[in-house]
Structure 1
Amino acid sequence: MSGTQAWGFTDDRGTELGAARVPRRVVAYVRAGAALCDLGVTPVAVYGSGHDGEVLDPAKEGGLGAAAVTYLGPGRTLDEERLRSLRPDVLVDVTYDGKSPYALDEAVAERLGVPLVALSVGGELTLGAILDRFAALATGLGARPDPGGRSGGADPTPAPPVTPAPPAATPSATALPAAERALREAAGRGGVTVLALSGAGPEQVHLARPDAWPELARLAELGVRLLDPGPGPGANWLTADWARAAELRPGLVLFDSRAHATPPDGPLADVPRTAWNPETPPSPAAYARFFHELARTLTR
């Protein structure tokens, strides 16, 4: 950060970003925006990915709806003039390859003349490392916990420096460890095998490779018996038919709950299931909710 810059951040592409003042008007990819909202920085707007439509997917919403955050539609086709009218100070996206933002063309940020932060959510990082990076960004953007326990918004006007509460005193600091303890206990009670998948219509299903997904790798560390779909093409998913999924004989299905995915049916219709959003907001609160729900399902 130079002497003329009040704010600086190096994102997960290694791009050094700076601004003359701390950004207050944040526009973000919906996954990143929902995480920031949990962490105390409410975006002025969010945009979707190529999977998303003109209405915000309820599975991805998190606290954005309650915070009345504007949804702009898919990032690759958004109205740049509408985006410009929101006067963003910073854009926040995710990256899966450590090179390019996922949901927005970087040229949009260049035309607007605002920094674009891209944080990694790929399998090369642990879930803990991903959560730490989003927490660091939120802190850098002036995150302010709401006294009532909800996330506070990012004020468009400069605010005085914030002294963060000690980690043990904040709800998010204790929620995730408690959820992990509950999940470890639930996983240790029985030998339920779990298959994570994303339905792709009546003929196809994408079967998740647990090691490629930071949150699934964390589930395995906590004792959840995740099924690997076996050899075949695809780094994150093995694409097969539903009969192949049934052959793995899962005791529980983690199904992709996003709007574009097909719910389990056919040979897996009677298998117990719980929702899994492969784009869960990278915040302790969001993962605590997911882990608690999975723990409850495992103990039924």
Structure 2
Amino acid sequence: MSDAGAWGFVDDRGAAVTIARRPERVVAYVRAGAALRDLGVTPVAVYGSGHDGGALDPVKAGDLEAAGVPYLGPGRGLDEETLRGLRPDLVVDVTYDGKSPYALDEAVAERIGVPLVALSVGSEPRLAAIIGRFAQLSAALRPAALPEPLPGPGDVASAEEAVRAVVADGGGGVAVLALSGAAFDQVHLARPPAWPELARLVELGVRLVDPGPGPGANWLTADWEHAARLGPDLVLFDSRANAVRPADLPPVGHARVAPWNPETPPSPAAYARFFRDLAGALGAERGGGLTR
């Protein structure tokens, strides 16, 4: 759409938004806002999820804080008058089920008369499609005169090639377990097909460990002894602020550890960093260079 004409977008729930002009004041869930910022669109404010507290989680935020973007706290507790006072033209959230926005009750946006779009980050779309949809939204939001943003530290394709290279050089034998620390007697073990970036790593040849049968579509909740019995060489620990740090938890056998953000901003720059870091972790594990 031209900057001067009507603006429209169909989100991943199939909801169509049409407004009189291109939105200039965007409020977003922090993960979505960080991706938009990477892609050349800076939100006027961001809000968190039910996992977030009163401070912005730097792992999820990219460079939003450095850019001076205000954080409004968890979306479910967001004060409507605060949101109204920001005069937003559009709210951008994510959806895991393809039906509902994840972090903000849509009724809040409806009551103040602001349209909301939600892009899927669940298990159904492949990672490339998720990144592509955020690129489409950012392109629709940027003024036509602005150039495409630079992709950051290398593009996703070259970062994926770095993973393939280390896999071919022996890293494919490294057993990798992704998890989120809950307590000293409890851990959430990631099911790789449920997480687009982990599923993509499997496609690239990385040996992701499945936690086994049991309840939970995204996670199997178990004890640390179960995690150790899976025999990982490398553990990807949830690095978000709501997860317990590895130093405060039992070791997983003799596995080395590296960070993993289950809410990586869906931008080429952020995922390129993740894949390059993972390639480095695989290479270090293969060579015995990571800290246990």
Q: Is the contact between residue 5 and residue 18 of structure 1 (CA under 8 Å) also seen in structure 2?
A: no
Tell me by how many angstroms 1:174 deviates: 4.8
| Match in the other structure for 1:77 | 77
Q: Deviations over 1:75-122 (max 9, x none)?
A: 000121111111100000000111100000001111111110000000
| Cα gap change, 1:269 to 1:73, in 2 (>3 Å) | farther
CA distance in 2, matches of 1:78, 1:267: 38
Tell me by how many angstroms 1:5 deviates: 6.0
| Match in the other structure for 1:280 | 264
> TM-score normalized by structure 1?
0.89
Aligned residue type for 1:283 = S
SS of the residue corresponding to residue 267 of structure 1 reads coil
Tell me by how many angstroms 1:189 deviates: 2.1
Q: Which runs of 5+ in 1 are unaligned?
A: 143-158
Taking only the aligned residue pairs, the percentage that are identical comes to: 68
CA distance in 1, matches of 2:33, 2:146: 23
In the alignment, which of 170, 174, 179 is matched to residue 159 of structure 2?
179
Tell me by how many angstroms 1:40 deviates: 0.4
CA distance in 2, matches of 1:29, 1:104: 8
| Match in the other structure for 1:90 | 90
Q: Which runs of 5+ in 2 are unaligned?
A: 285-292
CA distance in 1, matches of 2:220, 2:40: 37
> TM-score normalized by structure 2?
0.91
CA distance in 1, matches of 2:250, 2:98: 38
Aligned residue type for 1:12 = D
**CA-atom RMSD in angstroms:** 1.7
Hey, which bits of structure 1, 4+ residues long, moved more than 3 A?
Answer: 169-174
For this pair of structures, how many residues does the alignment match? 278
Q: Deviations over 1:188-220 (max 9, x none)?
A: 222111000011111111111101111100011
CA distance in 1, matches of 2:131, 2:155: 13
Tell me by how many angstroms 1:132 deviates: 0.6
Q: Deviations over 1:43-64 (max 9, x none)?
A: 0100000000000012112111
| Match in the other structure for 2:287 | none
Q: Deviations over 1:4-55 (max 9, x none)?
A: 9610000011001011010000000000000000000000100000000000
SS of the residue corresponding to residue 231 of structure 1 reads coil
Give 1:216-235 correspondences, 5 Å limit.
216-235=198-217
In the alignment, which of 181, 185, 209 is matched to residue 191 of structure 2?
209
In the alignment, which of 273, 276, 280 is matched to residue 289 of structure 1?
273
CA distance in 1, matches of 2:251, 2:277: 24
Give 1:242-281 correspondences, 5 Å limit.
242-264=224-246, 265-268=249-252, 270-281=254-265
CA distance in 2, matches of 1:174, 1:189: 21
| Match in the other structure for 1:67 | 67
Tell me by how many angstroms 1:184 deviates: 1.1
Aligned residue type for 2:124 = E
CA distance in 2, matches of 1:139, 1:131: 12
CA distance in 1, matches of 2:214, 2:28: 35
